[in-house]
């Protein structure tokens, strides 16, 4: 007999095996550092092989799927007050369907989403591609424009190490390590 917990474990294990990773569009095998698409209807992130990714890489195409670009830029942080970043870290992206800036706060249960009362014409958002890129902001420190799948990756990592209200030391170390890696990617990709 298979309990729901066993099934869940099996799914988790399958997702962690790089040999099993496949393109969600055509089922072709993909490398561990493959690219992603955003499904604009379900807001899901999908794994993609290079040819499928290229199909949806045109910003101006009105399609259901949009390729997540791989550029990373260092940017000036947007004007936020401390209440808008309770744990000192926030991901901001532009939701094209709602034409709003949406904030994601990482935490022990994944990420909490809320619409921010923030001017979408803040210069920090000028280069942000809707739905597929995010600003990762550390309050009082730095901000990067990065692929939105980077936010999912960091959120997943933080969920496993988060302790207490502010995440604790292990979460802070994970964030520092992640931002150092982002800084090393600035200027590459497009």
> Contacting Zn ion (CB under 5 A), which of 37, 38, 40, 47?
47
Question: Is residue 72 within 8 Å of residue 176, measured between CB atoms?
Answer: no
The nearer residue to Zn ion, 28 or 122, going by C-beta atoms, is 28
CB of 42 to Zn ion, least distance (A): 15
- What's the CA gap between 73 and 67, in Å, rounded? 18
CB of 131 to Zn ion, least distance (A): 17
- What's the CA gap between 126 and 53, in Å, rounded? 24
Q: Is 150 in the site for Zn ion (CB under 5 A)?
A: no
> Contacting Zn ion (CB under 5 A), which of 37, 38, 40, 49?
49
Q: Is 23 in the site for Zn ion (CB under 5 A)?
A: yes
Q: Is 25 in the site for Zn ion (CB under 5 A)?
A: yes
Q: Which residues, at least 6 apart from 163, have a Cβ–Cβ distance to it below 8 Å?
A: 108, 170, 171
- Interacting residues with Zn ion (CB under 5 A): 23, 25-26, 28, 47, 49, 52
């Amino acid at each position: 007999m298979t309990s729901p917990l066993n099934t869940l474990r099996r799914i988790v294990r399958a997702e962690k095996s790089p040999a099993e990773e496949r393109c969600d569009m055509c089922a072709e095998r993909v490398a561990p550092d493959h690219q992603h698409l955003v499904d604009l209807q379900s807001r899901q992130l999908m794994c993609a092989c290079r040819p499928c990714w290229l199909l949806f890489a045109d910003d101006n195409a009105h399609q259901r799927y949009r390729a997540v670009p791989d550029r990373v830029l260092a940017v000036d942080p947007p004007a936020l007050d401390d209440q808008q970043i309770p744990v000192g870290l926030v991901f901001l992206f532009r939701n094209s369907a709602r034409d709003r800036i949406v904030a994601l706060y990482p935490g022990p249960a994944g990420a909490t989403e809320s619409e921010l009362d923030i001017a979408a014409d803040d210069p920090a958002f000028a280069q942000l591609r809707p739905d597929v890129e995010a600003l990762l902001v550390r309050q009082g420190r730095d901000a990067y424009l990065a692929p939105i799948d980077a936010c999912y990756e960091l959120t997943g990592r933080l969920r496993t190490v988060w302790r207490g209200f502010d995440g604790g030391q292990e979460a802070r170390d994970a964030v520092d390590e992640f931002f150092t890696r982002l800084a090393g990617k600035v200027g590459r990709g497009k």
